[in-house]
Structure 1
Amino acid sequence: MASPRITLTVPGPHGDREVGLSSPDRVVWPEVGITKRELAEYFIAVADPFLRANGDRPVSLQRFPDGIDGEAFFSKNPPKGAPEFVESVTVTYNSGRRHPQLVLTEIAAAVWAAQMNTVVFHPWASLASDTDNPVELRIDLDPQPGTDFGDAAAVAPALRDVLAEAGLETWIKTSGNRGLHVFCPIEPAHEFLDVRHAVIAAGRELARRMPDKVTMDWWKEERGKRIFIDYNQANRDRTMAGAYSPRALPTATVSTPLAWDELASADPAAFTVRTIPRRLAEVGDPWEAIAAKPGRIDTLLEWWQRDLDDGLGELPFPPEFPKMPGEPPRVQPSRAKKEDDG
């Protein structure tokens, strides 16, 4: 029998909102017993840092109507009947299609999203005020089979050095799983393709310095036991879990901002829906000032051009993207070799 509907009082910039929550006792994370109500109350508890990281920008909602063990789907567009405080902005997708996308401007919208069975929030790297030009350069350090969080943590300081040489300040968070996300706030002076090229330039430089530990190879068969720099996460309409977003993993881990001096001893499993509010109360938000001094990607784009001049060209795009200028064939190397031999 479903638990009765309740109403949560949610503070916000326009006063309190009353947000209804149906089936509040429905278990979202069976292994740890976290309910829909507990998830909604988590967003209220982390309102300020959550909105700093995910608000005022296009966001996709990853929804799990039957809990994290059930089927999931993504919502990008505001559904019919959404309350007036759930806003939207028209964006252009990589296909050229334009469509409204959800925007969170107050925490009541995140609580409403929890009512809609949202677990993971995937914000764009650009703001609603200028959706075509990112305000963040994002680099996903993705452990491959045979590597783990510790391997990503060992690589991250070297990436920080590379980005510092390019004039950028770096901020780091756990992915909520095994990886790490490195963010650099940037001026919204370049569109997504330029920012992707800047990420590739940084990744190539890191891979040159750490060839046994870092790879830029798109095809999994070539990556080996190394940390993959997932440069395609910098593309338009490609997102990663936002800071302070829960993950759809058994223990309700959260993608958690860290201070750099925390990285060596950090345990990503320790950061969960139940522990993050206490962490924020005790140590604050390490990303509170992330947007204070945005940098520029000019130096990275100079490195990109240098590599082009040296014969290093464009890299593959995700399969759903249209064929892009200068892109190599989207054929995995082993298959291409068989075709050549045939």
Structure 2
Amino acid sequence: MTNPDKIYFPEPGITKRELVDYYLAVAEPLLAALLHRPTTLKRFPDGVSGDPFYAKRVPKGAPSWVEGVQITFPSGRTAVEVCPTEPAVLAWAANLGTFDFHPWPVRRSDVDRPDELRIDLDPQPGTDFDDAVRVAMVLGEVLREAGIIGYPKTSGGRGVHVLARIRPDHDFVGVRRAVIALAREVVRRAPDLATVSWWKEQRGERVFLDFNQTARDRTIASSWSVRGTPRATVSTPVRWDQLESVQPDDFTLRTVPDWFAENGDAHAGIDERAYDLATLLDWADRDARDHGLGDMPYPPDHPKMPGEPPRVQPSRERRPEG
């Protein structure tokens, strides 16, 4: 470890040594979330008050036991990204100033077919974590109706993430299509609480179900990741019956090891069964057939996709004259 006493979080006085020690304390459940997944490292070399960057390639000089796997970006370019296989990789990454681990929803055996469904519930201005929890409870019910068991976690910020293991039967486009159908069903049941509108001007004071987090090369912070917040909050798995009684600030680098020791890993059973997306894709077909609802805009760094609507903010669309 280099500069172990370097302050990474000035407000609580957390050092690099504490960050490395934290990741070793939660190495078992964190590695379960990252194992054999291409993983982007969100690095804060100057601490939380500095400018972070996303490391999408194995850095030069990495030890030989830091393994990598080749991934393809939306542009078609490729890179060899870190693929965690052992706890030492976590300590090595933390020594480089990695706070967040951002794994792809795929395994190294097939990097083009996701085996994890991810739903990011993002509170918009005027809403908060409690609103995200209310939407998450609706989402959990909808997933169960689709024959899928979801696993919630705090995002480490104001949001909630819900994960589910799926069979790697579909590419990124197919999985994203299933998530859009899922999100639309949640909005139907909670229209005053949830939105699937890609354009911020249309979201209002609702929780946005960010379907584009399932697009290629879009990731969310993994379970047990420290986030770049002043208090060093942590994205923490919780059970459904715990979700309504916790707050994001309950989980920090200093409190989570004790939480894990007392509660275990709420996502420990996620690999016991992988679900298919048949029902969600049936809903997508229904939405297109009965409601004329097709694809949604992709992130701006993606090439134009077949069937995608114009990437034009509604307020800037040219209106026909006359």
Q: Same fold (TM over 0.5)?
A: yes
Q: Name the counterpart of 1:99.
A: 79
Q: Name the counterpart of 2:294.
A: 313
Q: Secondary structure at the match of 1:119?
A: strand
Answering whether residue 199 of structure 2 is matched by residue 216 of structure 1, we say no
CA deviations 1:20-70 (Å, max 9, x no partner) are x11111111111111001000101100100101122100000111111111
Letter in 1 for 2:129: F
Q: Name the counterpart of 2:27.
A: 47
CA distance in 2, matches of 1:298, 1:330: 29
CA distance in 2, matches of 1:35, 1:290: 33
Answering whether residue 307 of structure 2 is matched by residue 326 of structure 1, we say yes
CA distance in 2, matches of 1:123, 1:256: 15
CA distance in 2, matches of 1:276, 1:52: 17
Q: 2:121 aligns with which of 137, 141, 158?
A: 141
Q: CA deviation at 1:191?
A: 0.9
Q: CA deviation at 1:341?
A: 6.2
Give the alignment of 1:10-49 within 5 angstroms: 21-49=1-29
Q: Secondary structure at the match of 2:271?
A: coil
CA distance in 2, matches of 1:301, 1:200: 10
Moved segments of 4+, more than 2 Å:
339-342
Q: Secondary structure at the match of 1:181?
A: strand
CA deviations 1:257-283 (Å, max 9, x no partner) are 001110111111010111111011111
Give the alignment of 1:124-273 within 5 angstroms: 124-273=104-253
Q: Secondary structure at the match of 2:244?
A: helix
CA distance in 1, matches of 2:104, 2:165: 13
TM-score (norm 1): 0.92
CA distance in 2, matches of 1:314, 1:66: 41
Q: Secondary structure at the match of 1:120?
A: strand
Q: Name the counterpart of 1:279.
A: 259
Q: CA deviation at 1:340?
A: 4.6
Q: CA deviation at 1:85?
A: 1.4
Q: Percent identity?
A: 54
TM-score (norm 2): 0.98
Q: Secondary structure at the match of 2:270?
A: coil
Q: Name the counterpart of 1:16.
A: none
Output the aligned Cα RMSD. Answer: 1.1
Q: Name the counterpart of 2:281.
A: 301
Q: Name the counterpart of 2:64.
A: 84
Listed as ranges, the gaps of 5+ residues in structure 1 are 1-20
Q: How many residues align?
A: 321
Q: CA deviation at 1:107?
A: 1.1
Residues 56, 79 of structure 2: 8 Å contact kept: no
Q: CA deviation at 1:98?
A: 2.0
Q: CA deviation at 1:114?
A: 1.0
CA deviations 1:227-273 (Å, max 9, x no partner) are 10000001111000000000000000000000111011111101011
Letter in 2 for 1:83: P
Q: Name the counterpart of 1:335.
A: 316
Q: Secondary structure at the match of 1:114?
A: helix
Gap change, CA 1:258 and 1:268, over 3 Å in 2: same
Q: Secondary structure at the match of 1:257?
A: coil
CA distance in 2, matches of 1:341, 1:148: 41
Letter in 1 for 2:181: A
Listed as ranges, the gaps of 5+ residues in structure 2 are none
